[in-house]
A and B are shown apart, each in its own frame.
Chain A
Amino acid sequence: MADLAVEGRATVEGRDGEGFEPEVVGFLCNWCSYAGADLAGTSRLAYPTNLRVIRVMCSGRVDPETMIEPFLHGADAVMVLGCHPGDCHYLSGNYQAEQRVRTIWMVLDHLGIDRERLYLDWVSAAEGARFADMVSEFVARVRTLGPAGGGPASREGLSRGEFAFRAEVARRVAGGERFRWLVGRNKALSEEGNVYGEKVSPHKAAALMQSVIADECVRAAIEVLAGEAPVSVRDIASRLGISAQLVLEQAAYLKRRGLIELYDVSGRSPRYVRAGARA
């Protein structure tokens, strides 16, 4: 069975909880939160060294895939910081960021990754002290979560390989067309209505999103597991802890889309490989 290894930090010692130093990647918007972080510096307000910052023009620039990417390379947590609601330099980018984070939380919940590892908040250019406090508090909270994929030392209890597998599934879900369309339209669906002008209640929209996430997670997991070597539906089902019927349905969909192909039938369970892997 495919077992993805975490790149980078995977070999570092001290990831078992003892002397655990969280690795935190932060995406900060240029106009408010990055400026706030600069102000913390100018004001010499100390905070833990665990945060590593990537500057983007707007929190709305942070792609849902990008939010998950750090987890594939050994990060224990991710911060997305933008301008306060109403203060976005680009009018509404922060609302987009919020929409994405909220939906990714649903994906993480579904996959058994603690949603607290993805943090969203607002920092204005004047809030140097707030930024410093926020980082200190968040790093402390990540310490209590334990290392991502830290086994028993982590909140989720996932092994390094299992965490990486699930993070990869989450990344693929976040890159998927259906998911991205729904994230982008979610707010408008309940506020402006769909193409037929029917407004979807927030509750219904959430239920729709939930079912899409469930499907997409299974599809992504099959794609990850069906790599160079064939894998049977039965094995996928037992790995994911779901019924073989569900796996078969989604595998059929992926096969129709030409993403995986049937390898053979082993026992009574069909085996699939990545499309083209056979040649």
Chain B
Amino acid sequence: MQAMQASCVKPRIGVYVCHCGLNIAGVVDVVAVRESASSLDGVVIARDNKYTCSEVGQKTIADDIRDFGLDRVVIASCSPRLHEKTFRALLEKCGMNPFLLEMANIREQCSWVHSGDSEAATEKAKALVRSAVARARLLTPLSRSEGRVVPKVMVVGGGVAGISAALYLGNMGIKTYLVERQPSIGGHMAMLDKTFPTLDCSLCILSPKMVEVAENENIEVLSYSEVEKVEGQVGDFRVQVRRKARYVDEDKCVGCGDCAAKCPVRVPDEFNRNMGERKAIYIPFPQAIPPAYVIDAEHCRYLTQGKCRVCEKVCERGAVMFDQTDRIETIEVGAIVVATGFQPYDASNKPQYGCGRYPNVITSLDFERIICADGPTHGKLKRPGDQAVPKRIAFIQCVGSRDEHRLDGAGAYCSRVCCMITAKQAFMIKEKYPDSEVYVYYTDMRTAGKGFEEFYQRGRGEGIVFVRGKPGEVREEEGGSLRITSEDADSGCILDLSFDMVVLAVGLTPPEGLVDLAQRLNLSRSADGFLMEGHPKLRPFETSIDGIFLAGCVQFPKDIPDSVAQAGGAAAVAAATCSRQKIEMDPLGPIIDEDLCIGCRLCEMLCPYGAIKVEKTDRGYKARSIEVACKGCGVCGASCSARAITMKHYSNDQIVAQTKALLEVS
């Protein structure tokens, strides 16, 4: 028998079978389930309620706890992942230990998946309740341990979502670290020329925010840095951040540019989508924050070949530091906001469109750089192949989006922003070059957003031709022009047209490295590869891990206002975490029976957290649990060679009792 079991007093169990309106009662015969429950050993009262989680439902339970002296509560309703917290809080309010609650999931794992067979679903529900009651009998009161709260937040990712989240937090007076992989914050928004539907200059509205970040005394920007490792839990995370060697002292560099002027190495400029050139010592774009140069170690002549050091010589302030190395900084925070954004779909995975093969087929992000006054062509629309001004331009929508085959990294989902990006870009062409001809090949034009449809209609009014149909291929012709043969699904005609340039509206895909980051943070990813939110409707900022929150496109593609809105929400929930005095932690650790423990060290070797250590005692070597480090997975208990370990709240006795009850014949 379990050591902690509360004496031999017979438990007094209350069972509540929820109708959940018709969600459960529409399939499962809840009255039969209740009747079956009432005959179980230890059950003193069984009821069925319309909505157990409602005010009325909860009051019934509270009254019963008082009137019947209940000491265990079993609720047969939805998933414990949804309402376990609600009912634990109820038990606490009624003066009961919250761990004397057990739930039977008869909705998500019964009525909702067995709607075709009421009889079998009812039998299964009975078994699940039987199992819950069997477990409830063996539950023991547990007390939660308390953890500290570090009132600081780390925002990972310095795009518009990360910048916004950091500003919201900084302005609340919360110390915030903004970690960015690139040498400058700004993200994809810094690369855009204009934003839809207002045609605001992108950097003109972003750059003041970036400056605000730099000036906010509560925000520390850790640029050119990546998260290496995360330990701890909500309220008390320890994050190891790799500060990549910049070879330039951020504090000394004033961004004069003398170094770059003299640097002999020219490299394709990734900020301009490799359409222009930069030097090996460079600043990603003029408005970069921090406004400091960085040396590209992969191309620097001194770092690769051992001689040069011209930049060091010309820098009057002595900011170039070739002896810098990567260093790991450990930062303690109470909450983490993940805002690592997206990456554009790699269009070269669709060889039929020729991106990467035909110079005049470009992506929508390439187009942003070309049309941008700061870009490689200084804002003149020139096609990359021969720098000629294209007269006839085609856009192809849904490249890497809404692709049900999902090959080559494409998503089955709609990327949400590409229709409006194309509407904007087409409009900008018409604005700058009114006599050009612009065609848009689309699947559906999706313009759901404030002012979006109006903007799209304005574009139609300007003479942009919208063709419903997805071209099968783009062929290059002599002189670099491109031929598209496609059906116009609206008229049924085959259109065979030649263009000077083709723009592929690429979708948004999960950013590079997200798989690793998700593993480091222990976060789940949705089927589309983006990070999964706590609940698709009600917990859009949260994740499955307490204290880690989401903002922006890392959760799913969204436009700028939505990213900023989510950043605000994530900042609010992160701030709420940091405002707590302490965090209560579930006590799910091991209880070690020293009489049985033989000190074999198996538990110590298998514990992923180093939370169990074998120590010498006067009775020989014995395992000891280190409560603060323990996360309650139960690997030690399931492995113990001497079966000396009982897991709190998930004991073998409880699991065996559940097993037996599930297989009993009703």
Interface residues of A (CB under 8 A from B): 7-9, 11-12, 23, 25, 30-32, 34-35, 37-38, 40-42, 44-47, 49, 52-58, 60-66, 69-70, 73-75, 86-87, 89-93, 96, 100, 124-127, 132, 175, 177-178, 180-181, 183-185, 188
Q: A52-B663, A56-B655, A63-B655 are in contact. List 8 more A-B contacts (CB 8 A).
A: A46-B115, A52-B127, A61-B647, A63-B637, A64-B638, A66-B638, A70-B662, A93-B633
In the complex, B131 has a CB within 8 A of chain A:
yes
Taking a contact as CB atoms under 8 Å apart, the answer to whether B662 and A52 are in contact is yes
Bound CA span A180–B643, Å:
9
Known pairs A38-B81, A47-B113; A126 contacts B655 (CB<8 A)? no
Contact status A124-B525, CB under 8 Å? yes
8 Å CB interface, B510-533 against A: 518-519, 522, 524-527, 532
Evaluate contact between A58 and B662: CB separation under 8 angstroms.
no
Q: Is B485 an interface residue (CB 8 A)?
A: no
A9 touches B600 (CB 8 A): no
Chain B contacts with A in 108-159, Cβ cutoff 8 A = 108-109, 112-117, 120-121, 123-124, 127-128, 131
Candidates A47, A90, A127; contact of B631 at CB < 8 Å: A90
Contacts of A93 on B, CB cut-off 8 Å?
Answer: 608, 633-635
Measured CB to CB, the nearest residue on chain B to A35 is: B81
Bound-complex Cα distance A53 to B365 (A):
48
Once the chains bind, are A66 and B655 in contact (CB under 8 Å)?
A: yes
Q: Which residue of A lies closest to B80 (CB)?
A: A55
Contact indicator B663/A74 (Cβ below 8 Å):
yes
**Residue numbers in A under 8 Å from B79 (CB-CB):** 34, 38, 41
Contacts A41-B112, A44-B115 known; A54 to B638 CB distance under 8 Å?
no
B544 on the A face (CB < 8 A): yes
On whether the beta carbons of A69 and B634 are closer than 8 Å, the reply is no
Chain B contacts for A75, CB-based, 8 A: 659, 663
Q: How far is the CA of A58 from the CA of B650 in the complex (A)?
A: 10
- Please pick, from A35, A52, A58, A64, the residue contacting B633 in the complex, using a CB distance under 8 A: A58
Contact partner of A56 among B113, B525, B598, B650, CB < 8 A?
A: B650
* Alpha-carbon gap, A181 to B603, bound state (A): 10
The yes or no answer to B538 lying at the interface (CB within 8 A) is no
Tell me whether B602 and A25 are in contact (CB under 8 A).
no
Partner of B662, one of A12, A30, A54: A54
Residue numbers in A under 8 Å from B105 (CB-CB) = 38, 53, 55
Q: A31 contacts which chain B residues (CB < 8 A)?
A: 524, 544
Interface centre among A7, A73, A184 (most CB of B within 10 A): A184
Out of A49, A124, A183, which one reaches B117, CB within 8 Å?
A49
Q: Are B81 and A90 in contact (CB under 8 A)?
A: no
Closest chain B residue to A75, Cβ basis? B663
Of the candidates B131, B631, B640, B642, the one whose C-beta lies within 8 Å of that of A54 is B131
A62 to B652 Cα, complex, angstroms: 9
Q: Which of B121, B633, B663 contacts A49 (CB 8 A)?
A: B121
Residues of B within 8 Å of A, CB-based: how many?
A: 61
- Residues in A neighbouring B663, C-beta threshold 8 A: 7-9, 23, 25, 52, 70, 73-75
B109 touching A41, Cβ below 8 Å: yes
Q: Are A177 and B109 in contact (CB-based, < 8 A)? A: no
Q: Does B378 interact with chain A (Cβ within 8 Å)?
A: no
Chain B residues whose C-beta falls within 8 Å of the C-beta of A46 in the assembled complex: 113-116
- Chain B residue numbers with a CB within 8 Å of A30 are 81
> B632: nearest residue on chain A (CB-CB)?
A57
CA separation between A101 and B532, bound complex, in Å? 29
Q: List 11 A-B contacts (CB under 8 A).
A: A8-B665, A40-B113, A57-B634, A69-B656, A87-B524, A89-B522, A90-B608, A90-B635, A96-B639, A180-B641, A180-B643
Q: How far is the CB of B662 from chain A (nearest CB, A)?
A: 4
Shortest Cβ distance from A220 into chain B, in angstroms?
Answer: 15
User: Which of B519, B642, B650 has its CB near the most chain A CB atoms (within 10 A)?
Assistant: B650
With contact pairs A8-B664, A25-B663 given, residues A180 and B108 touching in the complex (Cβ less than 8 Å): no
Q: Is B660's CB within 8 Å of the partner chain A?
A: yes
CB 8 Å contact bits of B417-447 with A (1 = contact, 0 = none): 0000000000000000000000000000000
Query: Please, which residues of chain B bring their CB within 8 A of the CB of A92?
Result: 608, 635
The complex places the Cα of A8 from the Cα of B659 at a distance, in Å, of 11
Taking a contact as CB atoms under 8 Å apart, the answer to whether A54 and B658 are in contact is: yes
| Chain B residue with the shortest CB-CB distance to A86 | B519
* Known contacts A25-B663, A35-B81, A125-B532: A61-B638 contact under CB 8 Å: yes
Docked pose: A183 CA to B114 CA in angstroms: 38
Instruction: Give Cα distance in the complex from A25 to B124, angstroms.
Output: 12
Contact present for B532 and A41 (CB under 8 Å): no
Contact of A60 among B108, B635, B640 (CB under 8 A): B635
Contact of A25 among B116, B524, B662 (CB under 8 A): B662
Interface string of B160-204 (1 = CB under 8 A from A): 000000000000000000000000000000000000000000000
Tell me if B638 and A60 are in contact (CB < 8 A): yes
Chain B 580-600, CB within 8 Å of chain A: the 1/0 string?
A: 000000001000000000101
Chain B nearest Cβ from A143, distance in angstroms: 15
Cα A73 to Cα B657 with chains together (Å): 11
Known contacts A57-B650, A90-B608; is-contact A32 B120 (Cβ 8 Å): no
**Docked-complex contact B81 and A34, CB < 8 angstroms:** yes
- Complex CA gap A46/B460 in Å reads 45
